[in-house]
Amino acid sequence: DLREYQSQAIEDKYRFIFIDGLWVHIKEIDIKKRPILFAMGITKDGKQEIIAFKLAKGETEEEVTALLNDIYRRGLEGKQLKLIASDGAKGIRAAINMVYPYAKWQLCYVHKLRNLNKHIRHKINNRPKMMRQVRAIYDSKNRQQAIERFEKLCACWQEYEPYAIKCFKDGFFETLHYFEFGDDKNLISSTNHLERDLEEIRRRIKIQGYFKSDRSANLWIYGIISQVMQEQQPE
């Protein structure tokens, strides 16, 4: 079943793809952490499916390119693909540009918020107000309103939290592409849909502690994905 899943044709029907990773422990010579990269596709009618995963050596451009090349060769050429969402890892973005250069890249705004939260210097006094303003940016009615709120935030906090504002400005406009997709914008503004599945996978493998081999990890992950996707099927 695993071999079939990893080799079966993939229908070129996805408008959006989410990419994210889950780190697990593999026992080789020693126990090492390695990422499993996941690709979730979303169809025109909103159906969500984990279409591929790859136990990788790292979240590098080479490894993500290998994952995307695999789904491309299996049929997902991207004729309907409009946008790919991920975190801000440079390797992921470079791989997307290599394999699907005509798709827009959406920097997941939830990852952006986490990064900002981490870099706020005066957390007790400033964090609640700043995070409230930032969330308002992404709750805006349209892109122009989001930009206006962004500029107001920067002007308000530049003096008090210069490093946090600098980090937030970096790549900010890449987080706004979802405003171009009308009714779908709430569906694609972040990778939360995939992250929820990854959290469920993480919960179910927690009892393992670590995997004895690559084969063991692949079998477990495939089994859990199959079960999760089956549970999500409408009755």
d(C-alpha 167, C-alpha 181), whole Å: 26
Q: What angle do CA 60, 191, 62 make, to 5 degrees?
A: 15
pLDDT in tens, 103-138: 999 898 888 888 898 899 888 888 899 999 999 999
Do 39 and 17 meet the contact criterion of CB atoms below 8 Å apart?
yes
pLDDT in tens, 12-63: 999 999 999 899 988 876 778 899 999 999 998 888 899 999 999 888 999 9
What are the φ/ψ torsions at residue 217 (nearest 5 degrees)?
-65, -45
d(C-alpha 89, C-alpha 112), whole Å: 11
pLDDT in tens, 70-96: 999 999 999 999 999 988 788 888 899
- Mean pLDDT estimate for the chain: 89
Predicted pLDDT of residue 27: 84
Predicted pLDDT of residue 235: 57
Which pTM was predicted? 0.87
